[in-house]
Structure 1
Amino acid sequence: MSIYSQTELMALGFACVGKNVSISKKASLYGISRISIGDNVRIDDFCVLSAGEGGIEIGDYIHIAVYSSIIGAAKVILADYCNISSRVSIYSSNDDYSGEFMSNPMINEQYTNVTHAPVTINKHVIVGSGAVVLPGVTLAQGCVIGALSLVNRSAEAFGIYAGQPAKFIKSRKKNLLLIEKKMVNNLRSV
């Protein structure tokens, strides 16, 4: 994977870029001035980040895997330690599919009824391959979204969800919080 150097990243015009950031040169980045990236972030080949007015905030220790996309006018937040698996689609904007309105961005907005709502993906969330997250969804800390799920409602902390639409399956263990604390303490002592 050919990645941007730190100097190249700074020249692209991000709102901010942290340390140890690896972004593939094959990723597509739109609205760069509205994208903030923390430390220890990797964005793989063929990802699309298209930041609208609300922008995209990416925290620390995050991986966005190959072919994933984050698109929309409203704000999208990926908090620390998130894992966005391959082919995940996160939307903060969505057309009206009812037939009451026209759709697609080439139609004047007076003829469409696009929904715009923030998406928040909190700490330690895993979104499985091929999942779709729709506008207005909040994924609480530590929850997991199974592969190929459609997330049209918010998910509770440390729950495992799957399906179309995604439904609660069972609870997730919280041991990772102890590991996080240990890791942070070890980093401070270095």
Structure 2
Amino acid sequence: MACLSPDEVKKIGFRCVGDNPRISDKASFYNPGNISLGNNVRIDDFCVFSAGEGGIILGDYIHVAVFSSFIGRGKIALSDFCNISSRVSVYSSNDDYSGQSMTNPTIPEAFTAVDHADVYFEKHVIVGCGSVVLPGITLREGCAIGALSLVSADCDAFSIYAGNPIKRIKSRSRDLLSIEDEFLKSK
């Protein structure tokens, strides 16, 4: 993966950028003035960040793997140490599929009924490849989402979920919290 230089990252026009960004030269950013990146953020090839009014905020030590996307008018916020696997789609806006309105962004708002709602990922969340996270969702600290899951409801802390629709599978270990402490002390 070819990464942008610090000067190239600055030219994108992010709201703010922390230290040590590793951003692919093949990633795309729309409305970058509404996107904030923390320290040690890695964004891989072919990711798309389309920030609406709410913006997109990535904390520290975040990895976003290839072909992932973050799209919508609402806020999308990832706290520290989140890991987004390949082909994950996170939406803070969603069309009305009922047929009682028209759909798609080429239609004026007066004829659509798009739902906009903020999305929050707390610390140490991991989302498996091919998963979709819908508007209005909060993934609590340490939550893990298995591959190919449809996240249509909030998920509890230190729990593992999977499926379509998602179901809680079991608890997730909290050992990573003490490992985080050791890691931060080593810095």
Same fold by TM-score greater than 0.5: yes
Q: TM-score, normalised by structure 2?
A: 0.99
The answer as to 2:142 corresponding to 1:142 is yes
> What displacement does 1:146 show?
0.5
Give the counterpart letter for 2:63 in structure 1. H
Q: Which runs of 5+ in 1 are unaligned?
A: none
1:166-185 residue pairs with structure 2 within 5 A? 166-185=166-185
**Cα deviation, residue 86, structure 1:** 0.1
Aligned equivalents of 1:165, 1:120: Cα separation in 2: 19
**Distance between the aligned counterparts of 1:80 and 1:7, measured in 2?**
24
Give a deviation string over 1:27-75, Cα, whole Å, max 9, x none: 1100100000001110000000000000000000010000000000000
Aligned to 1:107: 107
Q: Which residue is equivalent to 2:46?
A: 46
User: Percent same amino acid among aligned pairs?
Assistant: 61
**SS of residue matched to 1:182:** helix
* Residue 153 of structure 2 corresponds to residue 129 of structure 1: no
Task: Tell me what 1:88 maps to.
Answer: 88
Aligned pair count reads: 187
C-alpha deviation, 1:165, in angstroms:
1.0
Deviating above 2 A after TM superposition, structure 1's stretches of 4 or more consecutive aligned residues are none
Let me know the Cα RMSD of the aligned residues. 0.5
CA distance in structure 1 between the aligned counterparts of 2:169 and 2:113, rounded to whole angstroms? 33
Counterparts of 2:143 and 2:2, CA distance in 1: 32
The farther-off stretch of 9-18 and 141-150 is 9-18
Q: Deviation digits for residues 134-182 of structure 1, max 9, x if unmatched? A: 0000000000000000001000000000011111110000000000001
Q: After TM superposition, give the deviation of residue 106 of structure 1 in Å.
A: 0.3
